[in-house]
Amino acid sequence: MGLVDQLVNQPHYTLVNQPRENDILSHKELFDSIPEEYLSHKEKYENAIRKTVLYYRLMQKYQNYKEGSTILDETRANYRNLVSFAVFKDYPPLMLHNGMFIPAIAGQGTPEQQKHWLKRAKNMEILGTYAQTELGHGTFIRGLETTAEYDPSTEEFVLHSPTLTSYKWWPGGLGHTVNYCVVMAQLYIRGRHHGMQPFLVQLRDEATHMPLPGVKLGEIGAKLGLSTVNNGFLAFEHHRIPRDRMLMKNAQVLKDGTFVAGPSSKLAYGTMIYVRVIIVNGMANLMAKAATIAVRYSAVRRQSQIKPSEPECQILDYVTQQHKLLICIATSLAFSTCARWLWDVYTGVMGQMESGNMDHLPELHALACSLKVVSTMDVSGLVERCRLACGGHGFMHSSNLPYTYGLATAACTYEGENTVLLLQTARSLVKAWQKGSKGKPLSPTEAYLMDKSPVPKWENTLDGIIAGFRRVSAGKVQDCVSKIDKLVKMGTSYEDAWNQTSVRLVAASEAHSRAVILATFRSEVSRAAAALSPPLSRVLHQLVHLYCVYWALERLGDLLLYTSIAERDVQELQQQYEDLLQKIRPNAVGLVDAFDLRDEILNSTLGAYDGRVYERLMEEALKSPLNAEPVNQSFHQYLKPFMHGKL
């Protein structure tokens, strides 16, 4: 539940940071007796499986657990998402089971296939993942090499991995955990290629868990983060599956091998849109976690003096610390409000598509790409900033900031690498510009591109800043179109012209995303604030104001290029920003408390509600196995003979 919704739904906001009776988190066996940092790679995985089965059993008991329906709309779904932070500092091995396997069946399966497989998957009778990326390809889906050849004589598909680079590589849980998966493979019938299609494939014997004949499985090894997700590899050796294992909601293969195309070949990519939409909300949660840890720690930590005559001050009283951290609170709020707005757009387009109307799919794809990119890019950068703002203790795993950074930065790559997705949005913007230039109507989020009115006098207001970001985006898109047109007129191919303009295209795409986010954040808070008490409404508007002024200052170069902002406006903006830091400072701790993330979910020595930072740091340090004895055996084995010149 986003901060605004929490505040709206709980008028007198009671922050009880105590374990609620009969609550999932009251089960101590969910937690590690010794920190998992001290486990081996293999033990970490085995411990994660132990916790996974406990976690899901408790979920089913307490939450009548159901996945994938309205994941963003259910408070309990978001609560589940947050509770998983408590149980798994890194993601669980079944992250993809709920995150993609179930949604892929729901989005790509026929009603009969959904009926059969969703029941088994939601009851955890089978465990699955989503296998699309290969050793040789992740972005370029059309270049994926795994094949599915239809054999009409046996009414089967023959799955095959023709090369080493065709091995599926990365899918979460694939190494040793799941026994099924949705495999994306190139469909061939009688030698004719019918594009990328989804296949539901059993990988392991349900009783013995042994890989089936013709199926090669393993894990890909240690990673920067997500150490317990069990990302794996998969190869097929002419592995046969029945015809009814192709998920046939969109395209079908009849018994005789007739291929029936779906309304759009891109519908097979639908699961990716869904996950990109979900990721935005996930980033808001990660940001809330990191902001809570860093702001609370900054209220506890005293270091140096502002005035020599005074005692050491809270580091949160340094304006530089406020500059580092208050934007993090606003960012979490911005992305949780945008996530709910994007979810409504997504469900709206999915509803239209159910009745065959595909008109708004391109806009949804562009929005999902751009918001996934900006939320993951901003949050991974700001989580790292939270870590740095906590000094040495932020570098400790026990602070939970390094893990949180690993979770955030992974999302910059998975579900579509960020540069590639910004280029997707740029593709949509260039097409919109070309369409608008012919007088055709544009989608609601792109209509501003055709604003041909003269550049107005700059105003240091929210309206002025949001209008300014729209000017920047439109100006950048126009410059890209002009450069491409000029190169093509000089004889360059369109594709080469596109590539030569791609740095600008990525920048235009980001500018568009920022314009959408600023406008959405502001309108969503204004809508919700009407139901709030005046003090609460004021602080939320301060956060929106801070967010807009922060990004105006961050993108001054663009504003100077494409708007009428002048030096005195910039000076005034800088002063506005510093005034806002001062206004928000007194509410900083209250605001992160309003995220209401319990100590178990924060999982942090620095962010605990009681502020006992030093005691917790020491408690965690003493859990290190090395502290079990005053002299480690390596002294006698190595150091002593070495120091006595005997080694």
Ligand X SMILES: Cc1cc2nc3c(=O)[nH]c(=O)nc-3n(C[C@H](O)[C@H](O)[C@H](O)COP(=O)(O)OP(=O)(O)OC[C@H]3O[C@@H](n4cnc5c(N)ncnc54)[C@H](O)[C@@H]3O)c2cc1C
Which of the residues are catalytic? 415
- 228 near ligand X (CB under 6 A): no
Of the pair 402, 416, the CB lying nearest ligand 3VV is at 416
Q: Cβ(242)–Cβ(155) under 8 Å?
A: yes
Instruction: Give the helix, strand, coil percentages of the chain, each rounded to 5.
Output: 60, 10, 30
Of the pair 174, 608, the CB lying nearest ligand 3VV is at 174
Counting Cα atoms < 13 Å in the Cβ hemisphere of 158 gives: 13
**Both tokens assigned to 345:** 């757009």
CB of 60 to ligand 3VV, least distance (A): 19
- Detail the residues annotated as belonging to a binding site: 133, 172
Of the pair 499, 632, the CB lying nearest ligand X is at 499
CB of 160 to ligand X, least distance (A): 18
Residue 424 interaction partner, one of ligand 3VV, ligand X, none, beta carbon < 5-8 Å per kind: ligand 3VV
Residue 286 interaction partner, one of ligand 3VV, ligand X, none, beta carbon < 5-8 Å per kind: ligand 3VV
Residue 194 interaction partner, one of ligand 3VV, ligand X, none, beta carbon < 5-8 Å per kind: none
Task: Give the range of 118-126, 335-343, 350-358, 412-420 binding ligand X by CB under 6 A.
Answer: 412-420
- 419 near ligand X (CB under 6 A): yes
Instruction: Determine the residue with CB nearest ligand X.
Output: 138
Quickly tell me which residue has 């993108």 as its tokens. Answer: 555
Quickly tell me which residue has 């008490």 as its tokens. Answer: 533
- 68 near ligand X (CB under 6 A): no
Query: Which of 181, 315, 361, 584 is close enough to bind ligand 3VV by CB under 6 A?
Result: 361
Helices (H), 200-269: none
Of the pair 78, 605, the CB lying nearest ligand 3VV is at 78
**Both tokens assigned to 153:** 């004589």
Stretch 158-197 residues interacting with ligand 3VV (CB under 6 A): 172
Helices (H), 355-461: 361-389, 401-410, 418-437
CB of 33 to ligand 3VV, least distance (A): 24
CB of 137 to ligand 3VV, least distance (A): 9
Please name the residues in contact with 144: beta carbons below 8 A apart, sequence gap of 6 or more: 132, 134, 137, 166, 184, 185, 186, 196
| Selection from 234, 250, 232, 259 nearest residue 157 by Cα | 259
**Both tokens assigned to 525:** 């808070």
Q: How many residues does the chain have?
A: 647
Task: Give the range of 12-20, 264-272, 302-310, 393-401 binding ligand 3VV by CB under 6 A.
Answer: 264-272
Query: Which of 4, 104, 141, 316 is close enough to bind ligand 3VV by CB under 6 A?
Result: 141
Helices (H), 211-269: none
Query: Which of 68, 92, 362, 468 is close enough to bind ligand 3VV by CB under 6 A?
Result: 362
Q: How far is CA 275 from CA 71, 100, 127, 223, 365, in A?
A: 11, 7, 18, 22, 11
Of the pair 169, 341, the CB lying nearest ligand 3VV is at 169
CB of 133 to ligand X, least distance (A): 3
Taking the C-alpha atoms of residue 386 and residue 384, their distance in angstroms, rounded to an integer, is 5
| Helical (H) or strand (E) element with 634 | helix 633-634
Residues in a beta bridge with 246: 199
- 424 near ligand 3VV (CB under 6 A): yes
Query: Which of 47, 114, 133, 231 is close enough to bind ligand 3VV by CB under 6 A?
Result: 133
Taking the C-alpha atoms of residue 143 and residue 195, their distance in angstroms, rounded to an integer, is 10
Task: Give the range of 215-223, 282-290, 525-533, 590-598 binding ligand 3VV by CB under 6 A.
Answer: 282-290
Query: Which of 299, 420, 560, 570 is close enough to bind ligand 3VV by CB under 6 A?
Result: 420
Task: Give the range of 276-284, 349-357, 433-441, 462-470 binding ligand 3VV by CB under 6 A.
Answer: 276-284
Q: How far is CA 465 from CA 329, 473, 535, 545, 570, in A?
A: 20, 12, 24, 10, 12
Task: Tell me 345's DSSP state.
Answer: H
Q: Cβ(517)–Cβ(499) under 8 Å?
A: no
Q: Cβ(393)–Cβ(617) under 8 Å?
A: yes
Task: Give the range of 266-274, 297-305, 543-551, 581-589 binding ligand 3VV by CB under 6 A.
Answer: 266-274
The residue ranges that bind ligand X (CB under 6 A) are 96, 129-133, 137-139, 170-172, 226, 231, 410, 413-414, 416-417, 419-420, 423
What residues line the site for ligand 3VV (CB under 6 A)? 81, 95-96, 99-100, 130, 132-133, 138-142, 172, 266, 269, 272-273, 275, 278-279, 282-283, 285-286, 361-362, 365, 407, 411, 414-416, 420, 424, 427
